[in-house]
């Protein structure tokens, strides 16, 4: 499992990183990384100090360096998780980055209008600015995340990759369709065409199952695809089956993780599904 994860990490970096050459010759690179990971420990210490001091961007650089330069590190999955959680903390914060801007509220502005104007979501604007309601006032300054998001799903590895622009933000374990033709998760490029919090499950041959029911297979959130509305990304009541080919074709995450994505991804977000 660890070896497979390392392969995924390297594959993602090759797709997402421009201008960085990682390949140093497979045998030569591996042999040079085997003896010691002292530089990794130093980078981890620096990242911890930077995070404790509130410099999230500098801590992020340290984690990225570990992933790029030491992909054979035996705790690389842990580092990837640290980076993913740090990225989410940055996105949901007031921190100014090249991917964000400040908007001063003008007469006629609303969260819905601003979300549409900047290609984001009301939920992300609220979380980034600590808003408890949809009410905003003229003259108020709001931090807006302006970079677009996209999703890449690898069915064979049951991995969902969240990207903002060309940057890999976070990787999630998911469940996808069972390995038979009838329940296979579709391959292709889709867009999110519907978003429903606390969805009702319209189970075939059954009465609608309400959101609060422990039998509702959709979990806490639903994001449906444009090509076929029967398929989408949703939560689950079976978190132990995440990582397996266990669905009727949809992509499942744990409820906390699908809620995180729900707040980030606006309508029209591109979702690419590959084998």
Q: Which residues are catalytic?
A: 234, 250
Q: What is the dihedral of CA 89, 14, 241, 164, to 10 degrees?
A: 30
Q: What is the Cβ-side half-sphere exposure of residue 193, based on CA atoms within 13 angstroms? A: 12
Q: What is the dihedral of CA 65, 71, 73, 75, to 10 degrees?
A: 90
Question: Taking the CB of residue 25, how many other CB atoms lie within 10 A of it?
Answer: 9
Query: Which segments of 64-134 are extended strands (E)?
Result: 100-104
CA distance 243 to 222: 19
CA distance 134 to 109: 11
Residue pair 79/41 in contact (Cβ under 8 Å)? The answer is: no
Q: Which residues pair with 154 in a beta bridge?
A: 159, 274
CA distance 253 to 259: 9
Residue pair 128/94 in contact (Cβ under 8 Å)? The answer is: yes
Residues 6+ apart with CB under 8 A from 103: 114, 118, 141, 142, 144
CA 96-102-103 angle, 5° bins = 160
């Amino acid at each position: 499992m660890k070896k497979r994860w390392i392969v995924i990490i390297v594959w993602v970096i090759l797709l997402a990183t421009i201008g960085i050459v990682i390949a140093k010759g497979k045998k030569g690179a591996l042999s040079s990384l085997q003896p010691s990971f002292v530089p990794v420990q130093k980078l981890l210490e620096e990242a911890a100090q930077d995070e404790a001091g509130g410099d999230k961007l500098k801590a992020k650089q340290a984690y990225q360096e570990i992933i790029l330069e030491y992909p054979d590190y035996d705790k690389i999955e842990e580092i990837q998780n640290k980076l993913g959680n740090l990225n989410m903390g940055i996105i949901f914060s007031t921190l100014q980055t090249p991917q964000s801007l400040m908007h001063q509220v003008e007469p006629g502005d609303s969260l819905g209008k601003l979300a549409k104007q900047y290609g984001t979501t009301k939920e992300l604007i609220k979380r980034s600015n600590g808003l408890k309601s949809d009410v905003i006032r003229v003259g108020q300054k709001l931090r807006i995340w302006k970079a677009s998001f996209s999703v890449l799903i690898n069915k064979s590895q049951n991995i969902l990759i969240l990207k903002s622009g060309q940057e890999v933000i976070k990787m999630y374990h998911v469940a996808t369709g069972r390995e038979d033709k009838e329940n296979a998760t579709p391959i292709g490029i889709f867009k999110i065409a519907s978003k429903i919090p606390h969805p009702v499950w319209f189970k075939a041959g059954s009465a609608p199952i309400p959101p609060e029911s422990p039998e509702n297979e959709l979990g806490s959130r639903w994001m449906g695809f444009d090509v076929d509305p029967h398929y989408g990304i949703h939560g689950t009541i079976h978190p132990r089956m995440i990582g397996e080919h266990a669905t009727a074709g949809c992509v499942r995450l744990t409820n906390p993780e699908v809620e995180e994505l729900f707040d980030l991804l606006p309508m029209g977000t591109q979702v690419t599904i590959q084998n």
